[in-house]
Chains A and B, each alone.
Chain A
């Protein structure tokens, strides 16, 4: 493997790479006698690990070394846009002005509001939308917000009969889950032979019950929905709205805006498109943009500019709130910093290089790619090999594998998104890893991974006999 990527996970020579739990290092019981509360309100004692700062620093540092991030190496997780997270945005998020209490009166935090307003404006411009709320704390929350707006819009016109949201079968799982949370039935439509929206199936699914169609473009196969204008007019003609799932916006930055394609509502994933770090699963942020006729339904508050400065404003027919206050503020400011840093030309370059990288990598790997032409990501099929096993084997080559076995349209799917952050040399190395694995035998794949901190994990035992805290830990484990 000498010519292949040098992104192997840091590991120790010892066979048993292992860091004890805090609870195994120390547990201390503290009495609460001195706490001035009556005994019926307070507990008798508190038992938790008690360690010194140096011990804690080593514990977590060691755990960080057993974690693979974008800064460790390529992270091909399709649909997640694991691009490089510029370091300076971390400094921006700890500027003194960031630590603000939500109950501060608007006239005392004009700077904070100006920053939020600037981001609202820039996101609106980038999506072609008329107004933006920054409140949803994640993409799925943005979808839910969009669904609530869709409901409020239809009901405001006295239309209470629409109870269906149409979703392509290749959509992210959050789409149907968010639609259900909003009280809608979901109608799933199949793809056509080219991996795009099946127009006939859409026609058949559309009815007077249709509240909206949720769509990702490019879709989860990385394909541009070239008939998007037709799709939009079909949905609009039936009185429905068109929702844009912004997960794949990175592919189109500055080239085509959801509004131009006919979308009425969209969410932006700042942790994908605008490089805020994913933090081991979050936080992210999922601002929502809408066209003008939907502005009145936006969650409260939004930031507006008045003659005397910036203020918080509750739109007349606001759906209310989707987060306790104003969402993940620290992620929002990182996203703004990224947008300001890159500007037009940098954002345009991000989509250019993201799409170039995916196409270059796609051209170098031997696995079949059934659907083309693709943009920022592609779905390869590992054919006779099990895609999940291919993924585990990629770990041995120091690469964070693609999303596997999804979307379901492609059997043994490997959804690969290299992002714009990789250079040609790394892409060549990744391709070499894929190609080497494509020629490996089943037993090699089955036994992988071997160069990671632990070997292949027994998922079945984890789910059959769940151990979810150190309290239920069998000492033999």
Chain B
């Protein structure tokens, strides 16, 4: 029988000295170890353990050479240098705040980083407590009684919220979303729901706020959930959440709000406004912009407890009657309920939730309110400075803005984008004559220079 025995080359580089000759710096076996283990197993070679039929053996190579740590780091660093170092004034659902150093240092503690889901709570009390504190933070901010310990991201949280509404009202078939919803979120929502028989319909916004009259006309007993965002895709704070929740409830549907923990630090508690589910991206605390990576925030009313997706950490007691933390209500989850699980999620974003929790703890209520206030003050300052430029209407919508706002330019938006790029700035055009401009503590030091560049750009 062809065992497909391969010639294994050794990894070059200075790192291997104490283990040489070996093939992988992360396998600790000495040649003597391997020899003695094989002897115990009555084998000549490790390859004898692979009884793969020869027809499906892979006998070629991947043609990926091994590299030293130094080489990998250098190579990747060099590739990254091909990125243009632009100062980003980009938002649209992904925001950057300064991450205090303690977040990296504490979250990188290897017990946190290298543990897995807390299936053995007795040796996972620390991480469980962190997640319990994260849940408590979200409960405090939303006023809702239940927060899970994370979903993947904002978009998938909206999808899970829609599915939750479907479990609560199984006969309803429609989800209503604002017409300005970021397209990526709409696409994820469709993928999460359309196969379960849901239709997604969008309701109009007017001057960047929900058109409540139109929404009233569209609502019916078929609607399972009405989704609204604040801040919305234009950075405007929604001013009709309470009415939207009322309209939803009158027809027996749920009201779901998309937001984030910094905004929630100053916005009226969603629960007080009648909101049933809150979703969002909690990684505005704890994670810099990471090409769309985040952590899905998910909170809801306590009535839905047994229908909630994702992991929940609870407090109980141990055999000695002392406080203990554990994953609980696991029968909702896929590893027990399989095809009838409340979600297919298993691996989630726990470590990002840990970073969010540390960042929030670091800021405390004073720091959170100050950060949120900056998210109001900075766009106000920038938008009024831009509005002084001829040919610019800023902000386009007369709303309260959070982090970002829409600007209208007489000049083609794409030309403005291209010009600003030559000046070292990244902004995004949302249509022919409109741009979305985002400002936070991480780019605010460039505010005046950006205004100057913008003046030139619209000339």
Complex Cα gap A466–B312 (Å): 9
Partner of A69, one of B23, B110, B289, B344: B110
Decide if A91 is an interface residue (CB 8 Å cutoff).
yes
Q: Once the chains bind, are B58 and A101 in contact (CB under 8 Å)?
A: no
Name the 10 nearest CB pairs between A and B, nearest first: A325-B292, A279-B351, A97-B80, A183-B195, A343-B66, A281-B350, A66-B126, A69-B114, A63-B126, A324-B155
CB contacts (< 8 Å) of A323 on chain B: these are 152-153, 155-156, 188, 292
Q: Contacts A37-B376, A424-B36; is A103 near B94 (CB within 8 Å)?
A: yes
The 0/1 profile, CB within 8 Å of A marked 1, for residues 335-360 of chain B is 11111110111111111101000101
Q: Contacts A64-B112, A108-B421, A359-B49; is A400 near B123 (CB within 8 Å)?
A: yes
Central interface residue in A111, A279, A319, A350, by most chain B CB within 10 Å: A279
Which residues, 266 to 303 on A, are CB-close (under 8 Å) to B? 269, 271, 275, 277-284, 286, 300
Which residues, 362 to 386 on B, are CB-close (under 8 Å) to A? 362, 364-366, 368-369, 372-373, 376-377, 380
The 0/1 profile, CB within 8 Å of A marked 1, for residues 54-93 of chain B is 0111100111111111001101110111111010101011
CB contacts (< 8 Å) of B102 on chain A: these are 53, 56-57
Q: In the complex, which residue of chain B has the Cβ closest to the Cβ of A376?
A: B49
Q: Once the chains bind, are A322 and B83 in contact (CB under 8 Å)?
A: no
The 0/1 profile, CB within 8 Å of B marked 1, for residues 311-353 of chain A is 0000000011111111111110100110111111111111011
Of B220-228, B260-268, B451-459, the one touching chain A: B260-268
Complex Cα gap A372–B112 (Å): 35
Q: Once the chains bind, are A35 and B115 in contact (CB under 8 Å)?
A: no
B101 to A: closest C-beta gap in Å: 9
Partner of A454, one of B81, B114, B122: B122
Partner of A139, one of B30, B68, B94, B346: B346
Complex Cα gap A77–B153 (Å): 26
CB contacts (< 8 Å) of B217 on chain A: these are none
Decide if A40 is an interface residue (CB 8 Å cutoff).
yes
Q: Once the chains bind, are A224 and B51 in contact (CB under 8 Å)?
A: yes
CB contacts (< 8 Å) of B137 on chain A: these are 48
Decide if A51 is an interface residue (CB 8 Å cutoff).
yes
Chain A, interface size category, equals 35 or more
CB contacts (< 8 Å) of B445 on chain A: these are none
Decide if A159 is an interface residue (CB 8 Å cutoff).
no
CB contacts (< 8 Å) of A255 on chain B: these are 4, 50, 52, 57-58
Central interface residue in B104, B123, B336, by most chain A CB within 10 Å: B123
Q: Once the chains bind, are A32 and B266 in contact (CB under 8 Å)?
A: yes
Q: Once the chains bind, are A68 and B111 in contact (CB under 8 Å)?
A: yes
Q: In the complex, which residue of chain B has the Cβ closest to the Cβ of A362?
A: B41
Q: In the complex, which residue of chain B has the Cβ closest to the Cβ of A80?
A: B116
B390 to A: closest C-beta gap in Å: 27
Of B167-175, B248-256, B315-323, B405-413, the one touching chain A: B315-323
A101 to B: closest C-beta gap in Å: 4
A353 to B: closest C-beta gap in Å: 4
Decide if B314 is an interface residue (CB 8 Å cutoff).
yes
Complex Cα gap A83–B36 (Å): 22
Complex Cα gap A457–B313 (Å): 13
Q: Once the chains bind, are A472 and B72 in contact (CB under 8 Å)?
A: no
Complex Cα gap A112–B88 (Å): 15
- The total of interchain contacts (Cβ-Cβ below 8 angstroms) comes to 650
Q: Once the chains bind, are B53 and A229 in contact (CB under 8 Å)?
A: yes
CB contacts (< 8 Å) of B46 on chain A: these are 352-353, 355-356
Complex Cα gap A28–B114 (Å): 33
A-B contact pairs, 16 of them (CB 8 A): A28-B364, A28-B366, A42-B266, A46-B265, A56-B362, A103-B90, A141-B156, A173-B336, A176-B339, A271-B347, A281-B116, A326-B291, A340-B67, A395-B120, A454-B122, A455-B324
Complex Cα gap A257–B139 (Å): 46
CB contacts (< 8 Å) of B281 on chain A: these are 324
Which residues, 29 to 53 on B, are CB-close (under 8 Å) to A? 29-30, 33-34, 36-38, 40-41, 46-47, 49-53
CB contacts (< 8 Å) of A421 on chain B: these are 26-28
CB contacts (< 8 Å) of A392 on chain B: these are 120, 122
Partner of A342, one of B66, B289, B311: B66
Q: Contacts A37-B237, A470-B132; is A345 near B37 (CB within 8 Å)?
A: no
Central interface residue in A18, A255, A403, by most chain B CB within 10 Å: A255
Decide if B393 is an interface residue (CB 8 Å cutoff).
no
CB contacts (< 8 Å) of B83 on chain A: these are 97, 100, 108-112
Of A19-27, A195-203, A235-243, A433-441, the one touching chain B: A19-27
CB contacts (< 8 Å) of B185 on chain A: these are 324
